[in-house]
């Protein structure tokens, strides 16, 4: 079998032979020897310093909120924001200079992108899964549930389980979580990750966890098709230099492009590594919240990929508020009608792009949303164009979440 030519390579200047082949969707860079590109012995390098990903035909570098920053061609990049790497780019990480080089090979398949994309299978792997589809008009209500460690170790890897499920599947979710906790304690892997009944077979579900000072792996998970319940498992790492005893992890659920729900999970860190940790099933806390039904979707109709995805969501999901907002926006109504819809919304989801930045109507929308917002969490900007189109000054204090266009 002929070995596949590497897609790219990273070499360390001044270190003969230290060239790393980049042929995986996610490459970790840092001081720890567990990284794909270990920069050991340099105290200016954080343990998990940066991540190099392949997405939509481009290599993208993200600084993981490192202590001393990451530089591309002499320019310091903002943490947690993806930057496209060009052939010959020089990266400064700590006292190391790394050179990024592209190689002429064919583009990888869609499954080679760093978003983990999982087909939803039945619990018993039944071939009849696709025939078990919920009837049209099935309950639009969804619940979001997490099972996370009650006490978390700093500087070590932890894990939590995230579920999206219908209310009548809550008992199955709890049984699955208890089974998985038992498997962790006994080092086995037998637990299923989805129910048997399709609710929206053609709708992608994407789950994105975010938290300051926390590194998540994978960065996001996408499922092809939504069943009555499904689980995603994330590992996360808290940097040792983080001193706060309490932090909040925000978990966002997207049905196609639509923000379907938000789950805020409090994390409590142990001040030091414990000699004896409690069993996994005892060191666990469950949280559940309801899905969002009144999300105001603000996007530019010139962004065809977003417009198509939103129209598909309108056809699939039984949320009247979405259709009412879409009708209002299609006619570009202003004044009291716009204000009333914004006041009725639980979330203002802003799809930011070069077209959105030029849209006068969208500017009116997000300015009104800023005036109405009691707190900044009301506005949830997302983007898919890389690099991020520079936001207007009033929006720069908000956190922009990156969602690859291919998972919408």
Residue 373 lies in a domain: yes
Residues 264 and 151 in one domain: yes
Per-residue model confidence (pLDDT) at position 374:
63
With a pLDDT cut of 90, the percent of the chain lying above it is 37
Residues 97, 168 within the same domain:
no
Give the model confidence (pLDDT) of 364-374 as tens digits. Answer: 999 999 988 76
**pLDDT at position 106, please?**
47
Q: Are residues 264 and 144 in the same domain?
A: yes
Structural domain includes residue 174 = yes
Q: Among 79, 102, 125, identify where a domain stops.
A: 102
The band of 214, judged by pLDDT with boundaries at 50, 70 and 90, is: confident
127 in a structural domain: no
261 within a domain of the structure (yes/no):
yes
* pLDDT the model gives residue 221: 87
Reported as a single tens digit per residue, the pLDDT across 105-157 is 444 432 343 445 555 443 333 333 443 544 444 446 899 999 988 777 766 67
Peptide linkage before 218 cis (omega within 30 of 0): yes
Same domain, 146 and 222: yes
Is 327 in the same domain as 383? yes
Question: According to the model, what pLDDT value does residue 314 have?
Answer: 86
Count how many domains the chain has. 3
Say whether 200 sits in a helix, a strand or coil: strand
Same domain for 347 and 266: no
- Model pLDDT, residue 110: 29
Q: Are residues 175 and 217 in the same domain?
A: yes
Q: Specify whether 175 is located in the same domain as 214.
A: yes
Least confident of 3-7, 74-78, 300-304, 331-335: 3-7
Q: What is the mean pLDDT of residues 299-313?
A: 92
Domain boundary among the residues 270, 304, 323 is at 270
Tokens of 5: 């030519």
Region 31-48: what's the mean pLDDT?
Answer: 90
pLDDT of residue 406: 75
Instruction: Determine how many CB atoms are found less than 10 A away from the CB of residue 183.
Output: 14
Q: What is the pLDDT of residue 301?
A: 93
Which of these ranges, 86-100, 122-136, 271-285, has the smallest mean pLDDT? 122-136
Same domain, 393 and 327: yes
Provide the token pair at 402. Answer: 């990156």
Name the CA dihedral angle for 398, 403, 404, 408, rounded to a multiple of 10 degrees.
-140
Q: In sequence order, what are the residues at sequence separation of 6 or more whose Cβ sits closer than 8 angstroms to the Cβ of residue 216?
A: 209, 210, 234, 235, 236
Residue 113 lies in a domain: no
**What pLDDT score does 146 carry?**
93
Q: What is the CATH number of the domain that holds 171?
A: 2.60.40.10
Domain assignment present for residue 316? The answer is yes
End-to-end CA distance of the chain: 36
Report which of 357, 352, 296 is spatially closest to residue 329, judged by C-alpha positions.
296
Least confident residue range of 28-37, 99-108, 304-313: 99-108
**Do 148 and 242 belong together in one domain?**
yes
Q: Where are the beta strands (DSSP E) in 192-272?
A: 198-210, 214-217, 221-227, 229-238, 246-255, 258-268
Is 387 found in the same domain as 346?
Answer: yes
* Domain containing residue 331: 295-407
Place of tokens 């909040």: 248
| Cα–Cα distance, 326 to 314 (Å, whole number) | 9
In a domain, 116, yes or no: no
Mean pLDDT within 35-49: 91
In a domain, 171, yes or no: yes
**Confidence band of 273 (pLDDT split at 50, 70, 90):** low
**Residue 232 shares a structural domain with residue 335:** no
CATH code of the domain containing 47: 2.60.200.20
Strands 246-255 and 198-210: antiparallel
Both structure tokens of 23? 């042929």
The predicted pLDDT at position 2 comes to 31
pLDDT at 73 exceeding the cut of 50 = yes
């Amino acid at each position: 079998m002929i070995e596949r030519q590497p897609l790219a390579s990273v070499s360390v200047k001044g270190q003969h032979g230290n060239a790393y082949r980049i042929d995986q969707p996610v490459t970790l860079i840092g001081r720890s020897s567990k990284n794909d590109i270990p920069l050991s012995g340099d105290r200016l390098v954080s343990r998990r310093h940066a991540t190099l990903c392949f997405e939509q035909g481009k290599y993208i570098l993200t600084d993981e909120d490192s202590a001393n920053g990451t530089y591309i061609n002499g320019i310091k990049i903002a943490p947690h924001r993806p930057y496209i790497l060009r052939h010959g780019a020089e990266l400064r990480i700590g006292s190391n200079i790394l050179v990024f080089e592209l190689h002429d090979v064919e583009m990888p398949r869609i499954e080679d992108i760093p978003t983990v994309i999982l087909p939803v299978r039945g619990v018993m792997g039944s071939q009849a899964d696709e025939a078990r589809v919920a009837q049209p008009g099935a309950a639009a209500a969804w619940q979001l549930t997490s099972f996370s460690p009650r006490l978390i170790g700093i500087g070590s890897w932890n894990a939590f389980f995230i579920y999206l499920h219908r209310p009548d599947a809550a008992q199955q979710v709890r049984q699955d979580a208890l089974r998985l906790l038992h498997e962790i304690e006994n080092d086995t892997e037998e637990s299923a990750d989805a129910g048997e009944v399709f609710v929206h077979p053609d709708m992608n579900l994407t789950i994105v966890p975010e938290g300051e000072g926390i590194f998540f792996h994978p960065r996001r998970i996408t499922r092809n098709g939504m069943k009555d319940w499904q689980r995603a498992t994330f590992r996360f790492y808290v940097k040792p230099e983080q001193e706060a005893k309490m932090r909040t992890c925000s978990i966002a659920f997207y049905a196609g492009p639509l923000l379907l729900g938000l789950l805020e999970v409090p994390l409590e860190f142990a001040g030091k590594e414990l000699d004896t940790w409690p069993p996994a099933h005892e060191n666990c806390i469950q949280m559940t919240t309801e899905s969002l039904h009144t999300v105001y979707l603000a996007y530019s109709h010139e962004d065809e990929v977003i417009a198509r995805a939103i129209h598909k969501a309108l056809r699939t999901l039984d949320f009247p508020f979405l259709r009412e907002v879409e009708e209002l926006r299609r006619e570009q109504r202003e004044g009291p009608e716009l204000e009333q819809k914004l006041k009725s919304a639980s979330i203002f989801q802003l799809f930011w792009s070069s077209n959105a930045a030029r849209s006068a109507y969208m500017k009116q929308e997000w300015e009104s949303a800023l005036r109405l917002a009691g707190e900044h969490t009301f506005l949830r900007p997302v983007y898919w164009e890389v690099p991020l189109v520079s936001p207007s000054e009033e929006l720069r204090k908000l956190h922009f979440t990156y969602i690859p266009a291919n998972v919408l």
